[in-house]
Amino acid sequence: MTEVLIQRLDPDLPLPAYAHPGDAGADLVATTEVTLKPGERALVGTGVAIALQDGYAAFVHPRSGLAAKHGVTLVNAPGTIDAGYRGEIKVCLINLDPAAEVTLHRGDRIAQLVIQQVEKARFVEVESLPGSARGNGGHGSTGGFAGVTR
Ligand SMILES: O=c1ccn([C@H]2C[C@H](O)[C@@H](COP(=O)(O)OP(=O)(O)OP(=O)(O)O)O2)c(=O)[nH]1
Ligand SMILES: [Mg+2]
């Protein structure tokens, strides 16, 4: 377990919390009420700012319950919180439901924060890359999409 310095920007709202001991994501709450029409998006505050150690990043992930029940997800999933970022963590919500608008209230859990160690790369330019079993195959090269027959 790593310690993360956190600043509460909205004293009446809870800090991010893990719902269960084994959870990867700590739930983030909304600072404001927001109503999203179908297809609409909004940037919503969470009332917290963090300072991660170098070598770490935090990722803002959608909540599967909001996605499955209401079609609400994140435009930029997962959002990347850089170790050097000291501003409020914000969540770019979008309503992908084709028909129903949705209202999220202040204090509702709208996303979850996953803290991870990350590698920095030193990019080494080469004329050609070493071979591999996959080679250039991608974007469905292995076939077999469920329900699709051609
Ligand atoms: O879901 C997100 C994604 C990002 N951020 C904050 C933290 C992050 O460190 C900063 C920049 O994010 P990113 O690099 O993804 O955005 P950008 O469009 O490249 O902006 P910038 O030019 O500021 O890097 O914005 C959030 O609060 N929520
Ligand atoms: Mg950036």
pLDDT in tens, 115-128: 999 999 999 999 99
Q: Which two tokens stand for residue 149?
A: 């027959």
Statement: 5-117 belongs to CATH 2.70.40.10? yes
CA distance 91 to 79: 8
Is there an atom of ligand 1 within 6 Å of 101 CB? no
149, pLDDT greater than 70: no
Give residue for tokens 């435009």: 75
Question: In the predicted model, what is the mean pLDDT of residues 34-52?
Answer: 98
The burial class, CB within 10 Å (0-12 / 13-18 / 19+), for 88 is middle
What integer pLDDT is reported at residue 150 of this predicted model? 58
Predicted confidence band of residue 39 (pLDDT cuts 50, 70, 90): very high
CA distance 80 to 120: 14
Residue nearest atom 6 of ligand 1, based on CA coordinates: 81
| Predicted structure pTM score | 0.94
CA distance 36 to 103: 6
Pocket test for ligand 1, best of 6, 81, 86 (most atoms within 8 A of CB): 81
Q: Is the ipTM of this complex over 0.85?
A: yes
How is the chain split into domains, by residue range? 5-117
